[in-house]
Amino acid sequence: MSIAVETIIVQGLLVAAVVLGVLGAYTLVLDFLLDRTTDKRRQHNLRNITRFVFSIVGIIGMFGVLTQQYLGLFFSLGIVGFAVTFALQQPLFSLIGWLYIMIKQPYSVGDRVEIDDSKGDVVEVDFLVTTLWEIGGDLVSSNQPSGRVITLPNSVVLSSHVHNYSYREFPHVWNELSIQVAYETDLQFAEQVMIEEADDYLGDEMEQAIEQYRKNLAQTPVELEVRERPTVNVTQKESWVELRLRYLVHPRRGQRVRNELYERILARMNEHPQRVAFPVSRNR
């Protein structure tokens, strides 16, 4: 057997050993990390970061075995990296965006977000793209799943606003429900009905969430007055009065809670036609 063939065989075996060694180390390290957390979002991030690190280690190890010149290899990687910066700018920016997402965590898997004109639930964050299950859009009129999948380059987080509706430290948003009544309505009674129904349906849950919100707020220089129970704001319109119920809810329950509150409030108001009147104009 010639020396060249023996060299190829030896290098092949060494490359296989590097690959198997990296895979084995990757499996052991990943299992070790995953066993120490039950949070699905953190597990997803750990998988991505561990896969990225061991992929780089594996590539460097294989090239090192093939070239047998590690110093020259790192120098070559520097030159190649410089060239790739110009040739593959968008993928590089997406990779930088992924690192930013992993470190700063503007969102993670399971969050409901809005990025640019795209809104949905984050189902995957890999090295280059973020995948959303679309919410709303031009197919449905409410904050419900549309069935479409949106793929965004991670680079978009470096230059766009990211709206996170279910941020891990406070996964709630304020919603408003509007009821239009005539000027002849007993406004104090109508407001009371709306507050009572909302308070009965989600008051205790809202109070617990507000307690957490105030703790988060205390860690910032921002000073806000935050009500722990639902409130009603009154707005005067040309032909009617609009009562806006303000309450706190988890973003994934927003539409369901809104529907339930509408039914409860309208049922109560219809029981008192002498005190609550609705505008008859078709221009509402």
Question: 39 and 62: one domain?
Answer: yes
Question: 69 and 141: one domain?
Answer: no
pTM equals 0.66
pLDDT in tens, 244-266: 999 999 888 888 999 999 999 99
Residue 143 confidence (pLDDT):
78
* Number of structural domains in the chain: 3
**Cα–Cα distance between 157 and 107 in angstroms, integer?**
10
Read off the DSSP letter of residue 112.
E
Low-confidence ranges of the chain (pLDDT < 70): 1-15, 18, 22, 26, 29-30, 32-34, 36, 39-46, 60-89, 281-284
Question: 150 and 70: one domain?
Answer: no
Residue 71 confidence (pLDDT):
47
How many CA atoms, within 13 angstroms, populate the side-chain half-sphere of residue 215? Answer: 8
Residue 260 confidence (pLDDT):
93
Residue 124, strand partner residues:
131
**Cα–Cα distance between 258 and 251 in angstroms, integer?**
11
Residue 222 confidence (pLDDT):
79
Neighbours of 199 (CB within 10 A): 15
Residue 284 confidence (pLDDT):
45
**Cα–Cα distance between 154 and 175 in angstroms, integer?**
29
Read off the DSSP letter of residue 193.
H
Question: 155 and 190: one domain?
Answer: no
Domain of residue 27: give its range: 3-87
Residue 36 confidence (pLDDT):
67
**Cα–Cα distance between 278 and 240 in angstroms, integer?**
8
User: Quick check: 162 and 170 in contact, CB under 8 A?
Assistant: no
Residue 99 confidence (pLDDT):
86
pLDDT in tens, 219-237: 888 788 888 889 999 988 8
Question: 187 and 256: one domain?
Answer: yes
